[in-house]
Chain A
Amino acid sequence: MGWNLIRTWTLLVYLFMFLPVAVVVLLSFNASQFGSFPMTGFSLRWFIELSQNEAILRAFRTSIVLGLMTATISTTLGVLASLALVRYRVPGANVISTLLIAPILVPEVVLAVALLLFLNFMSINKSFTLLLAGHVIFTLPFVILVVQARLVSIRRDVEEAAMSLGASPRQTFFQITLPLMLPAVLAGALFAFTISFDDITGTLFWKPGGVETVPTQIFAMLRNSISPEINALGTVMILLTVGLPLLGLAIARSASTKRGS
């Protein structure tokens, strides 16, 4: 009896969470002019229109370039910071660690305004580079958290064994440490990419005029009218942001079963 109640409740919670998403996906295949029920027929019309919409394609390119660059820079910095914090004795390591994680704790609006005010104060104009810098700042904590956790679990004596066998510290890093923490590095990069791809608050504050990412483009489109194109765009975004991490997970899993672990 109790269990049935819990089951029903759980089901309701999931419905509440996923039904709107399902509606968006469903409606993106609607043939009708209006993005609402009842559906008048199945069509890929909105996807085709989407692929011909210059503004959206440009936003897509921007988002992907921004996401990839954010992921690359954040992951590189995150791995280096984690190595320093976990493997070396750095004075004030705890303070540095807290500061690096802080962007998660500070509300994003505050962070966004703060960076903007700072740029104003320094009389620096908004640019793509600064947008990128902003994205790196608030994706970095995620990378560091994931990579640090993994690095702590890699025993120091494995690296020491490699060095005793003749590998220099650099060779040891590329032969032993990096391969062992690769799942975490990939997960961190994936996090950074999806968070950057998804972000709207910071991006709205930081983007220079004329540059739109997918979320800001959707936001702009919604202000005029609700076109079914947005449903199609939503479906593509869902596929990307849900599909990529799942793909990453699958790769990591197949790699670890090969090792029998």
Chain B
Amino acid sequence: MSAVTLTDIVKRFGDFTAVHRMSLEIPEGSFLTLLGPSGCGKTTTLRMVAGLLDPTEGEIQIKGKHVTNVPIHKRNLGIVFQNYALFPHKTVADNVAFGLRYRDVSAEEAKRRVNEALELVQLPNVGDRYPKQLSGGQQQRIALARAIVIEPDVLLLDEPLSALDANLREDMRVELKRIQHRIGVTTIFVTHDQSEALAMSDQIVVMSDGRVEQVGPPEEVYNTPSSEFVANFLGASNILPATAGQASGDTLPIEVGGFGSIAIPRDRAPALNGSGKARLVVRAEKLLLTRPGDAPAGSISVDGTVETVDYQGQAVRYFVRVGDTQLQAINMIDGRPFNEGDSVAVSLRPRDCAALPEGT
């Protein structure tokens, strides 16, 4: 049984449609991420599941129960907000215990569960402090403890890491995933940060302009984007105009200007029906630059000239000209990076390419 089901959800604000007819099933215990740029409708969707917004049309079910008309305080959800939203006038222990007051829990039981929750977020000794006495990262852990102590049916995370600084964000990412795994609660996570989405999710829902662009596990969304938007939003991609040929067996020939014909595996072009105009997607880190003549066997190689070098420490981002197109390549540094103006061989393996129909 799925923990959360959205059926044909529509949300309009006046003339503006924030969410277009969205349907989604979230399996019990899974970690699902709503990913997209700001204004794509991801937070609106989360707030509808939470009961903080009413959908204009459609149905929401949580654990098989229709909750579309159930107010937020009767939905049994844990929500973690971007800015922690701790109660400043209550101690940490009282903050965490807050949800238990409205549930049938004895005083000793409540105390035990609060301690357990604080231990789970690795802050067992701060119960009698006030939120302001804690750092941002600690406050967000308390907010998480407060949300999970009530054993919610669904945990909703609204960009919970974006108020933290970069190092802390990565620690919390691991921590959050560990805790979610440990208690096995179904989780909906909203973020605009693709690396958070890729690192944490079982399923990613990529959204744009109120529509779902693609739903799938991280590797699938990353490696086989179903639209140009997804390809561009997740990481750096080269998107080249191409012509698809007739599939033969497991491969599909794609004609790309400059590279000639590339026979890509059929399953790398799931959205492509038949031959005709298409787009070839090659991730920047799958485009390998070598000295001319050193191109690895089994890959397709063309000559190019390095135009810009963007040194990033363990990797380098090159902008390289091939014919009349500029391509982006992110390569690990092996020895010395290339210099601007160097002649290189640009090579790619057919199985690292993906093809999309034109105009998606």
Residues of chain A whose beta carbon lies under 8 Å from any beta carbon of chain B: 155, 157-158, 160-169, 171-172, 175-176, 179-180, 259-261
Q: Are A160 and B88 in contact (CB under 8 A)?
A: no
Known: A166-B76, A166-B103, A168-B73. A161 touches B89 (CB 8 A): no
Q: Please tell me if B78 contacts chain A, counting CB pairs below 8 Å.
A: yes
* Interface window among B24-32, B79-87, B210-218, B271-279: B79-87
For B77, B87, B147, the residue with the greatest tally of chain A CB atoms inside 10 Å of its CB is B87
Instruction: Across the interface, name the chain B residue whose C-beta is closest to A180.
Output: B89
Q: Are A260 and B79 in contact (CB under 8 A)?
A: no
Q: Are B132 and A261 in contact (CB under 8 A)?
A: yes
Q: Please tell me if B62 contacts chain A, counting CB pairs below 8 Å.
A: no
Q: Are A160 and B83 in contact (CB under 8 A)?
A: no
Q: Please tell me if B350 contacts chain A, counting CB pairs below 8 Å.
A: no
| A232 CA / B298 CA spacing, docked (Å) | 104
Known: A165-B98, A165-B150, A261-B132. A160 touches B81 (CB 8 A): yes
Q: Are B73 and A158 in contact (CB under 8 A)?
A: no
Q: Are B50 and A164 in contact (CB under 8 A)?
A: yes
Which residues of chain B from 215 to 273 have any CB-CB distance to chain A below 8 Å in the complex?
none
Per-position binary interface string of chain B over residues 307-340, scored 1 when its CB falls under 8 Å from any chain A CB and 0 otherwise? 0000000000000000000000000000000000
| A155 CA / B82 CA spacing, docked (Å) | 12
Partner of A163 from the list B73, B88, B101, B156 (CB cut-off 8 Å) is B73
A143, chain B: closest CB distance, angstroms = 21
Known: A160-B72, A160-B81, A259-B132. A167 touches B102 (CB 8 A): yes
Q: Are B85 and A261 in contact (CB under 8 A)?
A: no
Listed by A's residue number, 16 A-B pairs whose Cβ atoms lie within 8 Å are A160-B79, A161-B81, A163-B72, A164-B73, A164-B75, A164-B78, A164-B79, A165-B98, A165-B146, A165-B150, A167-B73, A167-B101, A168-B71, A175-B98, A179-B89, A260-B130
| A13 CA / B101 CA spacing, docked (Å) | 57
* Prevailing SS type, chain A contact patch: helix
Q: Are B102 and A166 in contact (CB under 8 A)?
A: yes
How many residues in B have their beta carbons less than 8 Å from beta carbons of A? 33
Q: Tell me which residues across on chain A come within 8 A of B143, comparing CB atoms.
A: 161
Instruction: Across the interface, name the chain B residue whose C-beta is closest to A176.
Output: B87
Q: Tell me which residues across on chain A come within 8 A of B41, comparing CB atoms.
A: none
Known: A163-B73, A260-B133, A261-B132. A155 touches B83 (CB 8 A): yes
Q: Are B72 and A260 in contact (CB under 8 A)?
A: no
For B83, B86, B102, B103, the residue with the greatest tally of chain A CB atoms inside 10 Å of its CB is B102
A185, chain B: closest CB distance, angstroms = 13
Q: Please tell me if B357 contacts chain A, counting CB pairs below 8 Å.
A: no
Q: Tell me which residues across on chain A come within 8 A of B132, comparing CB atoms.
A: 259-261
Q: Are B87 and A162 in contact (CB under 8 A)?
A: yes
| A157 CA / B83 CA spacing, docked (Å) | 8
Partner of A158 from the list B76, B87, B103 (CB cut-off 8 Å) is B87
| A259 CA / B73 CA spacing, docked (Å) | 27
Partner of B73 from the list A166, A260, A261 (CB cut-off 8 Å) is A166
Q: Are B89 and A259 in contact (CB under 8 A)?
A: yes
Q: Please tell me if B52 contacts chain A, counting CB pairs below 8 Å.
A: yes
Instruction: Across the interface, name the chain B residue whose C-beta is closest to A164.
Output: B79
| A225 CA / B232 CA spacing, docked (Å) | 89
| A221 CA / B1 CA spacing, docked (Å) | 84
For A164, A169, A171, A261, the residue with the greatest tally of chain B CB atoms inside 10 Å of its CB is A164
Q: Please tell me if B55 contacts chain A, counting CB pairs below 8 Å.
A: no
**Cβ-closest 6 pairs across A and B:** A166-B102, A165-B99, A157-B85, A161-B85, A164-B79, A157-B81
Known: A160-B72, A179-B89. A165 touches B102 (CB 8 A): yes
Q: Tell me which residues across on chain A come within 8 A of B129, comparing CB atoms.
A: 260
Instruction: Across the interface, name the chain A residue whose C-beta is closest to B52.
Output: A160
| A84 CA / B132 CA spacing, docked (Å) | 29
Q: Tell me which residues across on chain A come within 8 A of B50, comparing CB atoms.
A: 160, 164
Q: Tell me which residues across on chain A come within 8 A of B75, comparing CB atoms.
A: 164
| A236 CA / B129 CA spacing, docked (Å) | 42
Q: Tell me which residues across on chain A come within 8 A of B88, comparing CB atoms.
A: 158, 180, 259, 261
Per-position binary interface string of chain B over residues 52-82, scored 1 when its CB falls under 8 Å from any chain A CB and 0 otherwise? 1000000000000000000111111111011
Which residues of chain B from 133 to 166 have any CB-CB distance to chain A below 8 Å in the complex?
133, 143, 146-147, 150, 156
